[in-house]
Chain A
């Protein structure tokens, strides 16, 4: 069955970096783009952008053009989200999402606190 399995929760300090993984299984990884979505505590969903899994080209939404990096390890059917220079407002759950939104990872809760 199709699954997106994300890495575990993270507790970081402001200024640090982190890298979240999203491992896909049950389908051909390069057949679908991978989207990334942020959900701050008690808030709605915010689209971060997507990565073309065939070319590796990322596209970022306006609010995520600095400090955020999407990447791939195609041989491992895995997508990554890296966040640099973490800020308190990065505290949120981050989801990877296949293609046009049919399958979601379970989410990674990221807490940024000094």
Chain B
């Protein structure tokens, strides 16, 4: 099974700050990784698909990049509504695997 290591597990940031979250996979998955935002009591919402593509309707301050087995989600300028949990999902091969999640909180 492909392991996904997500970091950090929690993050304190200020409004307007640039935020970066990383997922590292145990083997190459090409670009088969999605990023999600989840708020309490809600279903996850797709932010980025195939590592770099912004889901329709999501703010352009969210972006995804990857190099090899390392994937990053960046929020260029943190807004209050971005306070949430974030996680990645590799869908290169079954069983799909999730990162453990990053809890983003306001400093």
Contacts and interface: CB of A to CB of B under 8 A. Distances in A.
A and B from one complex: yes
Contact of A59 (B43, B45, B55, B94): B94
Contacts, number: 49
A70 B35 CA distance: 26
A49 B10 CA distance: 28
Interface stretch (B17-25, B63-71, B97-105): B97-105
Tell me if B's interface is mostly helix, strand, loop or mixed.
Answer: loop
B46 interface: yes
A100 B32 contact: yes
Contacts of B101: 44-45
Contacts of A37: 98
Interface residues of A, number: 20
A101 B43 contact: no
A29 interface: no
Contacts of A95: 43-44
Given A44-B87, A45-B87, A101 B46 contact: yes
Interface string B27-61: 00000101010000001111001000001000000
B34 A49 contact: no
A47 B96 contact: yes
Nearest to A104: B43
Given A44-B87, A45-B87, A101-B34, A50 B46 contact: no
The 8 closest A-B pairs by CB, nearest first: A100-B91, A61-B95, A45-B98, A104-B43, A44-B101, A47-B96, A101-B34, A44-B100
Given A45-B101, A95-B43, 15 more contacts: A45-B44, A45-B89, A47-B95, A49-B95, A95-B44, A100-B34, A100-B49, A100-B91, A101-B34, A101-B49, A101-B96, A102-B46, A102-B49, A105-B43, A106-B43
24 contacts: A35-B96, A44-B87, A44-B99, A44-B100, A45-B98, A45-B101, A46-B98, A47-B95, A50-B94, A59-B94, A61-B95, A62-B95, A95-B43, A100-B49, A100-B91, A101-B49, A101-B89, A101-B91, A101-B96, A102-B46, A104-B44, A104-B46, A105-B43, A107-B43
